[in-house]
A and B are shown apart, each in its own frame.
Chain A
Amino acid sequence: MLEYEGVQYKGFRNIYNEEGEATGFQVGIRMIGYRGAWLSEFRFGYIEVDGEKFLADRCTFVVSGVEYTYEETFNLGRVKWPLNEAMIVRVQKPGGLAQGSHTVSALYGQVASYVPFGSGELDINQKPGGHGHSESFGYTREMIIV
C-alpha cells in the first residue's frame, strides 16, 4: 500500500557504501493522480531537505527495481512508472542525513498532453512558473532519520 502523501515515509533512509559510509539518502514519491507516468513524460524539479535543494544531476530514479539517471528517462516512452508504486529517488549527499527530524520537499510532475495550461510549478520544459503542459506538484513532509 501507498501512503496518501506525495512524499512517502516508507523507504526514507540513508544509503551506505560497502565501507559503511553514508553516501546519500533515498526517499519515495508517488503520483497523487489517476494515471502513472511514462518515463519520457516524467518531470523532476528537486528534492529539498532543510532548505538544501538536490537537482536531477545529484539524483537517480528507481522504478520497478530499475535505476535510471534523469537523462535516461527522456526517451523511455514505453516504460511506465505505475500509479500504484512509489518511485525511489536516490540522492547523493556525502555523509547522508543526520539523525533526527528533517523537512523534506519534492517537486515533480508529468506531462499532460490533454491539458493546455500548466497546473503546477513546472512547465513542460521544467521552467518554474511557466505556462506549459505539465501537471506538477510540490509536497513537503516532516520526517525522521533513525
Chain B
Amino acid sequence: MSTSQKPGIHRGVSTYCWYPLYNVNMTLEDSFEIMKDMGAHGLEILADGIIEGYPYPSKEWLNKWFSLCDRYEIVPVEYGHWVESKLYRGRELNVEESLEQLIHDIKLASYMGFTCMRTKLGVIDDKLTPTKIWRDFIRRALPYAEKYNVVMQPEIHWPTRLTDQMILDYVEFIEKEQTQYFGFNIDFGVFTTDATGMGMPPGMELNPSKPEDIIPLLPYVHCCHAKYYNMDENFEETTIPYREVVQIMKDHNWNGYLLSEYEGPHKEDYNHCMTQVKRHHVMLKRILGE
C-alpha cells in the first residue's frame, strides 16, 4: 500500500512547521497556498490543533476542508493524533479507553481523506518506550484501520535509534499480525549529527542512527517526517545527512511522502519559518531531481 498516487518520493509539509502562528497571523488556507506555491502537495495535520471543534468538527468545517483541499491541490497524507495514556491523574488509560480514542481518530482521518496516521503513543521512559498495553489496543484497532483504509504509524523520533529494541518489537508485531495497517513514520531527526538548534535537554546524548539503518524498515514506512533544524543560505540542511538518506530511499524504490517538519529555533518568527521551509523544498527538489 502506498499513500502516493504514483510511485516515487513526493514532497509535503506538516502543519507543525507553523504551529504557533495559526490563529495569530496564519490560517490553514494560508498554509495550503504556500504549499501550492512550492509544489508540495502532501499534507500532515496535527488534528487536535487544526480541526476546529476537534474531536467533533462541524459538517460546515468539514465541507470547507474538502473545498480547500480541492482548490489548492492538497493530498491529505498523514493525520497526527495522540493516544493520551496519562489522561487522568494517578492512573494510565486502560485498553478500552485507548481504543475508543483510536477508533474515533481512525474514522475521522479516513473521512477527511487521510491514508496514514501518526499515532503517538504514551511513553514510559526516556527512550520513548511505549506504554505496556500498546499491543492490546493496536491489535484491536487493526480491523478498523483496515475497514477505513488508514495505516497507523508511531513516529520514530530522536532519542530513539532505528536499531533499538522497541523497533524490533514493532516489526515483530507487524509480522506476527501480518498487517499492512501498522508501520512507521521515521523522523529524520534520528539521523541528526549536530545538536545545534535542536534544544537538547542536558544529560541527553545525540547518538544518531546511521542512514543505512533505515533500509530494513522501509517496507513498513509510508511517510516520513523530513525534519530540519537549520537550512542554510546554500539550501543545505547542516545537521542531517539528507542526501545520503534520500539516496538510500531512492535506491530501494521507496514510495511515499517526505513531510517537512521544522523543529529549529525562532518558531515565533513568520519570516524565519517561511524562509526555512522554502529552503527545505529547494533542497528536496534538487535531491529528488524534480
Residues of A within 8 A of B (CB): 1-4, 32-36, 38, 40-41, 74-75, 77, 80, 82-84, 111, 113-117, 119, 124, 133
Q: Are B24 and A4 in contact (CB under 8 A)?
A: yes
Contact: A3 with B53, CB < 8 Å?
no
Contact yes or no, B23 A2, CB < 8 A? yes
Known: A35-B48, A113-B85. 17 other contacts (CB 8 A): A4-B20, A4-B24, A35-B46, A36-B48, A40-B87, A41-B84, A41-B87, A75-B88, A77-B88, A82-B54, A84-B52, A113-B121, A114-B82, A116-B125, A116-B127, A124-B86, A133-B86
In the complex with contacts A82-B53, A133-B86, A116-B23 CB distance below 8 A? no
CB within 8 Å of A: which B7-63 residues: 15-16, 19-25, 46, 48-49, 52-55
Output the nearest chain A residue to B130 by Cβ-Cβ distance: A114
A-B contact count (CB 8 A): 87
Residues on A with C-beta less than 8 A from B82 are 35, 113-114
Known contacts being A2-B23, A4-B20, is A114 close to B123, with CB within 8 Å? yes
Across the interface, which residues of A come within 8 angstroms of B53, CB to CB? 82
Number of interface residues of B (CB under 8 A): 36
Chain A residues with CB under 8 A of B87: 38, 40-41, 77, 111, 113
Task: Assess A114 versus B122: contact at CB under 8 Å? Given A2-B24, A4-B268, A38-B87.
Answer: yes
Q: Which of A41, A74, A116, A119 is in CB contact (< 8 Å) with B123?
A: A116
A91 to B46, CA, bound (A): 32
Shortest CB-to-CB span from B191 to chain A, Å, is 21
Q: Are B83 and A34 interface neighbours, CB within 8 A?
A: no
3 tightest Cβ-Cβ pairs between the two chains A and B: A113-B122, A35-B48, A34-B19
- CB of B49 within 8 A of CB of A83, answer yes
Give the contacting residue for B49; candidates A2, A33, A40, A77; CB below 8 A. A33
* Residue of B48, B52, B54 with most chain A CB atoms under a 10 A cut-off: B48
Binary CB contact string for chain B from 176 to 207 against chain A (1 if under 8 A, 0 otherwise): 00000000000000000000000001000000
In the assembled complex, the CB of A10 is this many whole angstroms from the nearest CB of chain B, namely: 12
| CB neighbours of A3 from chain B (8 A) | 24
Q: Which residues of B (96-149) have their CB < 8 Å from a CB of A?
A: 120-128, 131
A35 — which chain B residues lie within 8 A by C-beta? 46, 48-49, 82
Knowing A1-B24, A35-B48, A83-B49 are in contact, say whether A114-B121 is a contact too (CB < 8 A): yes
- Bound CA–CA A119/B49 (angstroms): 19
Chain A: minimal CB distance from B43 (Å) = 15
CB distance from A66 to the nearest CB of B (A): 15
- Which residues of chain A are near B55, meaning CB under 8 Å? 80
Is A41's CB under 8 angstroms from B24's CB? no
Q: How far is the CA of A44 from the CA of B191 in the complex (A)?
A: 36
Whether B54 lies near A36 (C-beta < 8 A) is: yes
A contact residues around B84 at 8 Å (CB): 38, 41, 77, 111, 113
- The interface centre, meaning the residue of A2, A3, A114, A115 with most chain B CB atoms within 10 A of its CB, is A114
> In the complex, what distance in Å separates the CA atom of A113 from the CA atom of B81?
12
Residue in chain A with minimal CB distance to B53: A82
Query: Can you offer 13 A-B residue contacts whose CB atoms are under 8 A?
Result: A4-B268, A33-B19, A38-B87, A74-B89, A77-B87, A83-B23, A113-B83, A113-B85, A113-B123, A114-B122, A114-B123, A116-B125, A133-B86
